[in-house]
Amino acid sequence: MSVIDVTDLRKSYGGRAAVDGVSFTVEEGEIFGILGPNGAGKTTTVECVEGLRVPDAGRVRVTGLDPVADHEEVTRVLGAQLQQSELQPKLTVREALELYTSFYPRPADWRPLAERLGLTGKLTTRFGKLSGGQKQRLFIALALIGNPRIVVLDELTTGLDPRARRDTWELIEDVRAGGVTVLLVTHFMEEAQRLCDRIAVIDKGRVAALDTPSGLIRRSAGATVISFTPSAPLDDADLNTLPQLASVQHKDGRITLSGTDETVNAVITLLARSRVTAHQLRVTDATLDDAFLDLTEATA
Ligand SMILES: Nc1ncnc2c1ncn2[C@@H]1O[C@H](COP(=O)(O)OP(=O)(O)OP(=O)(O)O)[C@@H](O)[C@H]1O
């Protein structure tokens, strides 16, 4: 069952299209990622889902409700992550939890939520004194306090160190295990690959691709990456005629090609024919990073 339906969403600022015909559907219980370069239109899209912006055209539904016309009902089913500036630095963690509890008709008990998010030892600490990771935990707690069916998290792990980022990923998996649907906006490929069931890659206000992380990798032109240091220079003209080749890069005497298994076989034949030895030959699967560059470049 879908809980978010976005159809042909459009939004311009001063005549410039920020979102230019975006459509996607989020199923109940999934972690759905919105991934894209800076200025792609990700935040504008989720702000239309949250009812914080009014679309110029298109249709947005959250559990069948219109986020603008039915804003109050939507805030009961959809929890949104706050921006830093929305909390007073002097407020303690406990005060913030109690304040947000008072906003909702059927709030969750904040105590077990604080426990699950590792905030119990910080209840008397002022918001301004929390570390980046602790602030993010508090934002997740506040987004969940109204017992939402859906939670929207925008750039949740930006600015966190690698350990805090990994801890936050585990938290998000926990949140989903508790039955909440997660809409996650991110810049981080590793985060999207690890967490998301499906990802919409947004570029220049449009959906460049929508698939599972492995589906995105498979559909990008160079799903296999081959790299080696040749014992003697190889002719670029020969490399460029390799079958299924998606890209060729030269760096510090090393050649990196992306393509398919067919490209791998052909490059080995080419090396043998040219009597060139490949040192430190590596064949790896492309990552979401490679797919992302390929997909966003494709629409340039
Ligand atoms: N309030 C606004 N007024 C004018 N232009 C805006 C406004 N908000 C966003 N834009 C522009 O709309 C485009 C899309 O912005 P948006 O914030 O939705 O992108 P994003 O994908 O979330 O970017 P980032 O990853 O950098 O946060 C950008 O060109 C941005 O400059």
Per-residue pLDDT tens over the stretch 57-108 = 999 999 999 999 999 999 989 998 876 667 899 999 999 999 999 988 889 8
Q: What is the pTM of this model?
A: 0.82
Residue 257 has pLDDT above 70, yes or no: yes
CB crowding 91-102: b at 16 or more within 10 Å, else e = bbbbbbbeebbe
Nearest-CA residue for atom 29 of ligand 1 = 39
Probe residue for ligand 1, chosen from 19, 34, 43 as the CB with the greatest number of ligand atoms within 8 Å? 43
Which of the listed residues 11, 22, 42, 152 should we mutate to test ligand 1's pocket, taking the one with most ligand atoms within 8 A of CB? 42
2-13 sheet: strands from edge to edge: 16-27, 2-13, 57-62
Q: And the tokens for 96?
A: 């913030």
Average pLDDT over residues 18-27: 97
Report the nearest-CA residue for atom 16 of ligand 1.
41
Q: How far is the CA of 41 from the centre of ligand 1 (A)?
A: 6
**Torsion sign (Cα): 157, 162, 166, 167:** negative
Residue nearest to atom 2 of ligand 1 (CA): 13
Per-residue model confidence (pLDDT) at position 299: 47
Q: Which residues contact 226 (CB under 8 A, 6 or more apart)?
A: 256, 257, 258, 259, 263, 264, 267, 281, 282, 283
Whether the CB-CB separation of 108 and 146 falls below 8 Å is answered with yes
Nearest-CA neighbor of 178 among 2, 29, 3, 11?
29
Residue 188 binned pLDDT confidence (cut-offs 50, 70, 90): confident
Which three-class secondary structure state does DSSP give residue 214?
helix
Length of the chain counted residue by residue: 300
For residue 40, the ligand 1 atom closest to its alpha carbon is 21
> What's the pLDDT at 180?
94
What three-state secondary structure class fits 30? coil
Residue 279 is predicted with a pLDDT of 95
What is the Cα Rg of the chain in Å?
23
| pLDDT in the model for residue 300 | 44
Q: Are strands 2-13 and 57-62 parallel, antiparallel or unpaired?
A: antiparallel
**Ligand 1 centroid from CA 223, angstroms:** 31
Of 137, 177, 152, the C-alpha closest to 60 is 152
pLDDT at 84: 62
Give the residue whose CA is nearest to atom 5 of ligand 1: 13
Indicate which residue's Cα is closest to atom 30 of ligand 1: 39
